Amino acid sequence: PRTTRLADYRPFGWRVTEVHLTFRLAPGATRVLSRIRFAPLDHAPARMTLDGEGLTLISALIDGAPVSPDLTTDGLTVDVPPAPFLWEAEVEIAPEGNTALEGLYMSGGIYCTQCEAEGFRRITYYPDRPDVMAPFTVRIESDLPVLLSNGNPTGSGPGFAEWHDPWPKPSYLFALVAGNLVATSASFQTAEGRDVELNVWVRPGDEGRTGYALDSLIRSMRWDEDRFGRVYDLDVFNIVAVDDFNAGAMENKGLNIFNSKYVLASPETATDRDFEGIEAVVAHEYFHNWTGNRITCRDWFQLCLKEGLTVYRDQEFTSDMRSRAVKRIEDALLLRAAQFREDAGPLAHPPRPDTYVEINNFYTVTVYEKGAEVVRMLASVLGPETFATGLELYFARHDGHAATIEEFFACFQEVAGDTLDGFARWWTEAGTPRVTVSRHWDGETLTLSVRQETLGGPRWIPLAVGLLGPDGEEIAPTTLLTLKDTEAHWRYVPSTATWETCSAPNGQPKTDGAPLPSINRGFSAPVLLEAGMTDAERRLIFGHDTDPFNRWDAGRQLIRAGFIGLVTEDREPDPETLAAMGRAVRDDALDPAFRALVMGLPSDDDIAQTLAEAGRTPDPDLIETGRERLREAIAALLAGDLRRLYADLAPVGPYRPDADGAGRRALRCAALSCLSVVDGPDAARALYSQADNMTERLAALSVLLRLGAAEDALADFHARWSRTPDVLDKWFALQVGSVKGSRAVETALRLTRHPDFDWRRPNRVRSVLGTMLRHHAGFHSADGAGYKVAADWIVRLDPANPQLAAGLTSPFQTWRRYDGDRQGMMRDALERIASADGLSRDTSEMVGRILG
């Protein structure tokens, strides 16, 4: 397979000034008629190449005269005149047989599309690249009741509908939906006075579960006006939910298509986490209307230009809607768990990569979440006003264009009037910087010496720093110290409450009365920090810091150290650590959501990664047992507090999916789960049958599964929800996720034979196999069964749905962490996948990179 390189970028030779598409829909044989006007640019060659895959060409005309293009496996080439011309083509495609879910396909009788990144070429011949932008006019011919495309509706009648999208867009934002759907609607008046019709379209029967998505959309639209001055620009905004979707959702202009898991919600069917996810994904896709659609990417290497910026925007939205502190901790958890791991292994790449084989393999945590961190750091080094001015300039200058990271960054350099060069490496270099901070106290002055170890030269690293006194009181407020070179020294000047740069400190350091720095507050830089803290210092920060992130993080470090001690030395966790945890969990002055996060233990994978970084070989079974013992120790110590919490946090009114209610439930469920270790299944049984919401019901079921007491509840759950696919997915996932060790593999295997398992549905496959792959002790069970089941299914799924199969390979990325036996079995599994006949570009690139 061919490698695509950023360095080889060349603009297309023509402008596309107009696109007219007519769809004659039929499941097995859909006709697509295109009329496209091309205008040559100065460098246009005499032959034009168009992308096309899996198309049957029926006819092709240039300026009305039949032509015979040369067909290739990935498109066609044709002689064209040196002046503007009209290209007309008719092709046939078969949406019914499209199991890859890319291009035009069918989901439960609904026609829908997914064109990002390169799916439009499966619909018709076209320059399928994001830097070719054009207005689209679409006519859909079908007897189905609802026919949708991008832009505004311009006409409809029996058997047809027409749409016009006036905003020039790249082909990846094209969308079409046709089916028997019902809408929940609202009207929104923009800040510019435009009335916009909002619709959330779902299958009949699901319309009672659309309210939260619609409300999230309205709040997103208002928020983007208020916070970023971004106003919506069409008369309608449609969201459609489909059950079969490779990704979470897609930001097609004016017609977002969603995985139904990110639309459908009611208290009985969705958990608090689902509600938060729906709010965030609806916002994310809506925010793309400006960051992605009005301004798009010049080429796919620039993917993080739209994704990093849009994730940053949706994170800010969630922070404003819910708790900023809790959101920051959740984002840091994800970044450290998934992105740091990616950056530390064979799949490492910069947020802006410079080569790829299959671009769909680069919709990664590095492009998305690290991309967002880079934007966040840019905002913090520039300060809110300069950042806002730079972003305004970006919107004004690049509206209607396909931009690059350099063009984005130039807007901020310009308004800052300064060179920020060392900052840009965050986009172009892979790897997580390691930052070491050492302290020097001479009895009067505290000096911090900060060093970075970074691939590809020093980057700007913004560290938010505060100081605590001996009793934990804040003696210096948060200040941003930005490390721009390999090393720098700062000293704190109490009289002015400022930090100044200085030379390396000398003299004998003292310890008495030294203030304690709280470094990287709010996770201001996504780095691995080594600050040389003692456990007593961590406890001081955990108990007192004004910065909630560092409070939580100090607690996390303490508990991780306890976990590691159990696993490697069979050492009982430090009672002082558990006592400190208990104080935080009891502290009613703290947000319950925060206390629930404090109770969360590091994942098995986190412990494995920590051990690997320390040069040790992780043993998945010992890690799993260590977790059990840690949980027992916590339960034994805190049982009384947890029983009180469980009772005190009982619901007071009807379920509401807001942050407060979610936080109370999170803490209550964490208490239940921990308590069950000493109290057994009774409370969980009672909660399962009494709960009026899915959050508590699922938490109870998970406890019952862990205790091996779930038989009745499982049957009851299945009976209630067997006809609701998004809820049944939870039933599948929970069974695999809540059992120990190799039983996770056995359970997954058994569930793949369940009559309700359907390997054509990505959500179902991810519920069963995705959960097994993320089950650390299960996937890595010593007999290799996890690797074998994974490889069998990846090979089986790949011909039908390459994106789904390729996505399932990623848990193998850590294979070099483990012992020789496991490494050998993982290598065998990967090599078996690699040698499968006709393996897709997607999966073969992933396996090749993982094997290295």
Contacts to ligand B3K by CB under 6 A: 116-117, 247, 249-251, 284-285, 288, 307, 360, 363
Q: Residue 363 or residue 395: which is nearer to ligand B3K going by CB?
A: 363
Please report the DSSP string for 841-852 in residue order: HHHHHHHHHHH-
Q: Which does 160 bind (CB under 5 to 8 A by kind): Zn ion, ligand B3K, none?
A: none
Q: Residue 306 or residue 322: which is nearer to ligand B3K going by CB?
A: 306
Fill in the DSSP letter of residue 693: S
β-bridge partners, 16 = 38
Q: How far is the CB of 249 from ligand B3K (least distance, A)?
A: 6
Q: Are 759 and 798 in contact (CB under 8 A)?
A: no
Give the span between the Cα atoms of 400 and 168, in whole angstroms: 7
Q: Tokens representing 43?
A: 């460098």
Q: Which does 116 bind (CB under 5 to 8 A by kind): ligand B3K, Zn ion, none?
A: ligand B3K
Q: Residue 116 or residue 206: which is nearer to Zn ion going by CB?
A: 116
- Per-residue CA distances from 592 to 163, 200, 314, 487, 677 (Å): 49, 33, 23, 40, 21
In the block, which residue shows the tokens 């600050």? 531
Q: Residue 250 or residue 608: which is nearer to ligand B3K going by CB?
A: 250
Q: How far is the CB of 49 from ligand B3K (least distance, A)?
A: 23
Q: Residue 339 or residue 735: which is nearer to Zn ion going by CB?
A: 339
Q: Residue 310 or residue 609: which is nearer to Zn ion going by CB?
A: 310
Residues in contact with 508: Cβ distance below 8 Å, sequence separation at least 6, in sequence order: none
Q: Which does 735 bind (CB under 5 to 8 A by kind): Zn ion, ligand B3K, none?
A: none
β-bridge partners, 448 = 439, 490
β-bridge partners, 50 = 76
Q: Tokens representing 641?
A: 């507090």
Q: Is residue 475 helix, strand or coil?
A: strand
β-bridge partners, 156 = 161
Of 689, 680, 743, 736, the closest CA to residue 712 belongs to 689
Q: How far is the CB of 99 from ligand B3K (least distance, A)?
A: 15
Of 45, 407, 244, the closest CA to residue 760 belongs to 244
Catalytic residue among 279, 285, 369, 624: 285
- Reduced to 3 DSSP states, what percent helix, strand and coil does the chain have, rounded to the nearest 5? 45, 20, 30
With helix as H, strand as E and coil as C, how does 108-165 read?
CCEEEEECCCCCHHHCCCECCCCCCCEEEEEEEECCCCEEEECCEEEEEECCEEEEEE
Q: Residue 91 or residue 250: which is nearer to ligand B3K going by CB?
A: 250
Q: Which does 331 bind (CB under 5 to 8 A by kind): ligand B3K, Zn ion, none?
A: none
Q: Residue 360 or residue 844: which is nearer to Zn ion going by CB?
A: 360
Give the span between the Cα atoms of 808 and 361, in whole angstroms: 11
Q: How far is the CB of 647 from ligand B3K (least distance, A)?
A: 42
Q: How far is the CB of 310 from Zn ion (least distance, A)?
A: 5
In the block, which residue shows the tokens 């404003």? 320
Q: Which does 117 bind (CB under 5 to 8 A by kind): ligand B3K, Zn ion, none?
A: ligand B3K
Q: Residue 134 or residue 257: which is nearer to ligand B3K going by CB?
A: 257
Look up 285 and say whether it is catalytic: yes
Q: Which does 624 bind (CB under 5 to 8 A by kind): ligand B3K, Zn ion, none?
A: none
Of 766, 780, 842, the closest CA to residue 816 belongs to 780
Q: Determine the length of the chain.
A: 852
Q: Which does 250 bind (CB under 5 to 8 A by kind): Zn ion, ligand B3K, none?
A: ligand B3K
Q: How far is the CB of 51 from Zn ion (least distance, A)?
A: 22
Binding mask 290-319 for Zn ion (x = CB under 5 A): -----------------x--x---------
Neighbours of 321 (CB within 10 A): 19
Q: Residue 284 or residue 665: which is nearer to ligand B3K going by CB?
A: 284
Residue 386 identity (one-letter amino acid): T
Q: How far is the CB of 166 from ligand B3K (least distance, A)?
A: 22
Q: Which does 332 bind (CB under 5 to 8 A by kind): ligand B3K, Zn ion, none?
A: none
Neighbours of 574 (CB within 10 A): 16
The phi, psi pair for 696, rounded to 5°, reads -75, -35
The phi, psi pair for 209, rounded to 5°, reads -120, 30
Q: Residue 364 or residue 518: which is nearer to ligand B3K going by CB?
A: 364
Q: Which does 247 bind (CB under 5 to 8 A by kind): Zn ion, ligand B3K, none?
A: ligand B3K
Q: Is residue 505 helix, strand or coil?
A: coil
CA angle, 232 as apex, 227 and 233 as ends, to 5°? 145
Cα-Cα end-to-end distance for the chain: 16
Q: How far is the CB of 117 from ligand B3K (least distance, A)?
A: 6
Give the span between the Cα atoms of 453 and 459, in whole angstroms: 9
Q: How far is the CB of 114 from ligand B3K (least distance, A)?
A: 7
Residues in contact with 134: Cβ distance below 8 Å, sequence separation at least 6, in sequence order: 16, 17, 18, 19, 36, 168, 169
Q: Residue 233 or residue 285: which is nearer to ligand B3K going by CB?
A: 285
For strand 160-169 and strand 152-157, is the pairing parallel, antiparallel, or unpaired? antiparallel
Fill in the DSSP letter of residue 408: H
Please report the DSSP string for 22-74 in residue order: EEE--SS-EEEEEEEEEEE-TT--SEEEEE-SS-EEEEEEETTEE--PEEETT
Q: How far is the CB of 288 from ligand B3K (least distance, A)?
A: 6
Q: Residue 14 or residue 368: which is nearer to ligand B3K going by CB?
A: 368
- Per-residue CA distances from 491 to 442, 445, 459, 514, 608 (Å): 11, 7, 21, 13, 37
In the block, which residue shows the tokens 């290497």? 301
Element (H, E) at 104: strand 103-107
Give the span between the Cα atoms of 724 and 62, in whole angstroms: 50
Q: Which does 404 bind (CB under 5 to 8 A by kind): ligand B3K, Zn ion, none?
A: none
Q: How far is the CB of 435 from ligand B3K (least distance, A)?
A: 30
Q: Which does 363 bind (CB under 5 to 8 A by kind): Zn ion, ligand B3K, none?
A: ligand B3K
Which residue blocks in 467-522 are alpha helix, DSSP H? none
Q: Which does 726 bind (CB under 5 to 8 A by kind): Zn ion, ligand B3K, none?
A: none
Q: Which does 98 bind (CB under 5 to 8 A by kind): ligand B3K, Zn ion, none?
A: none
Q: How far is the CB of 248 from ligand B3K (least distance, A)?
A: 6
Positions touching Zn ion (CB under 5 A) are 307, 310
Catalytic residues: 285
